[in-house]
Amino acid sequence: MMMSPPLALAPFRWLTEPFHYEFMQRALLGCALVGFTNGFLSAFIVLRRLALLADALSHSLLPGLAIGAIFFGLAPLGLFSGAVVAALLVGIGGQLVARSSRLKDETAIGALYTVAFAIGIILLKYSRVPVDLTHFLFGNILGVSNSDLWIIYAVGFLSAVSLVSLQRGLLLTLFEPSVAQSLGVPVARLNYLLITLIVLAMIASLQAVGVVLSVGLLVLPAATVYLLSDSYRALSWFGGLLGAGGACVGLLLSYWTDIPSGPAIVLVLGVCFVAALVFGPRYGVLARYLRPHHLHGESLARWAKPAPVAPVPANAPEEAPLS
C-alpha cells in the first residue's frame, strides 16, 4: 500500500507522478538509450554533412516496416529486419546508382527514398494487423516493450564500440579522404559502416520519434554542441548526453501536457538548438552582434602579422663584420 505524500509536497506530486508507473520507467530508459546513441552518432552526421542522407534513410524505413508487418505482424524482430533491408537498399543503392550514372549521390538517393516512402504507405494498407500509420511516422515510446529495449541497447552498444574503436580512421576519412586512402584506410568500408550505423540508430529510434522525426535526434544534438565548442570529443560525448537528456525531458513534457512524445522530444532539442544559436558565447548571434568591431579590423589583423623570413642556406658565406 502506497503512502500518500505529505501535504507540503502534495502540490508538487505531478513532478514525481510519471516515475511511479512501470510503462513510464521503461519509456524513460528507452529514451535515454536512444537519445545517447543518436546524439553520439550525431557528431559524424554534422561533420560529414549527412543530414539530407539521414532524412532520406529515415523515410526509406517505411516500406521495410510495412513488409515486416505483412509477413510477421508486429513482432519487433520482423519489423527490425524489414526496416534494415529497406534502408540499406536505398542508402547503398543510391551510391551504386550515382557511380554507374551521371547522377549525384543526393539526387539518386532522393529519387529512391521518395519512391520507397510512397510504396511503404501503400503496403501498410495490406498488413494483417491494424497498424496506426501515425505510430510509424511520429513514434509512440509509451508502447516500448522489453524486446524493443534489448534492440535499442544492442544498437547503442554496437554504435558506441564501433565509433570509438574506429575513431581515428573515421575522422581521417571525414576530413581528408584522399590522405586516408593513401595511408591504407578502407574509406569505402568506413562509409558503408557509417551508413549502416545510421540506419540501425534510426530503427532503434522508431518507437521514440517515428520515421519522420528520427532525423531530428540524429542532427540536433551535435548541431547544438557545434555552436558551443570546437572539440570533437565534446561534439560526440556532450551530443550523446544532450540527446539522452532532451529525449527524457521531452517524454516527461509529453506526459504532463498530453501531447505526442515524438514531437515533444524534437521540440525540446529544437529549443536547445535555438538557445545555442542565439546565446552561444562564441558563435551565438548575440555574441557576434555585441562583440566590438574595429572599422579596419581585418586590415589590422593582416598587417599585424610578422613578415615571413626567408631561410638561410647552410653553406652560405658569413658576412664580414663591420669595421
Per-residue model confidence as pLDDT tens digits over 130-186? 666 566 666 677 777 777 788 888 888 888 888 888 888 888 887 777 777 788 888
Please give the share of the chain, as a percent, with pLDDT higher than 90: 7
Residue-wise pLDDT tens digits, 291-306:
766 555 555 555 555 5
Question: Between 248 and 2, whose confidence is greater?
Answer: 248
**Is the confidence at residue 2, as pLDDT, over 80?**
no
Sign of CA dihedral 164, 87, 204, 238: positive
Nearest to 244 by CA among 98, 71, 34, 100: 34
More confident residue, 21 or 116: 116
Spans of all domains in the chain: 20-289
- 313 phi-psi bin (left φ>0, alpha ψ -120 to 50, beta other): beta
Instruction: Provide the pLDDT confidence category of residue 232 given band limits of 50, 70 and 90.
Output: confident
The answer regarding whether domain 20-289 maps to CATH 3.90.380.10 reads no
**CA-based max dimension of the chain:** 105
Q: Is the pTM of this model over 0.85?
A: no
Cell 554542441 sits at which residue? 225
For residue 36, which of 213, 218, 196 has the smallest C-alpha distance? 218
The whole-angstrom separation of Cα 159 and Cα 141 is: 21
Using CA of residue 219, residue 224, residue 226, residue 229, what is the dihedral sign? negative
pLDDT of residue 322: 46
Nearest to 94 by CA among 109, 114, 81: 109
Cβ neighbours of residue 54 under 8 Å, at least 6 residues apart?
45, 198, 202, 215, 218, 219
Q: How far, in Å, CA of 80 to CA of 209, rounded? A: 15
Residue 201 to residue 206: CA distance in whole angstroms: 9
Which pLDDT belongs to residue 1? Answer: 44
pLDDT for 60-81, tens place per residue? Answer: 888 888 888 788 776 777 777 8
**What's the rounded Cα separation, in Å, for the pair 138 and 261?**
8
Q: Of the candidates 46, 36, 58, which has an alpha carbon nearest to the alpha carbon of residue 276?
A: 46
Whether the per-residue pLDDT at 196 is higher than 50: the answer is yes
Confidence band (pLDDT; 50, 70, 90) for 268? very high
Handedness of CA 164, 267, 247, 67 (dihedral sign): negative
Torsion, CA 48, CA 51, CA 66, CA 143, rounded to 10: 100
The four Cα atoms 39, 41, 46, 49 give a dihedral, to 10 degrees, of -150
The torsion angle over the Cα atoms of residues 73, 76, 82 and 87, rounded to 10 degrees, is: 140
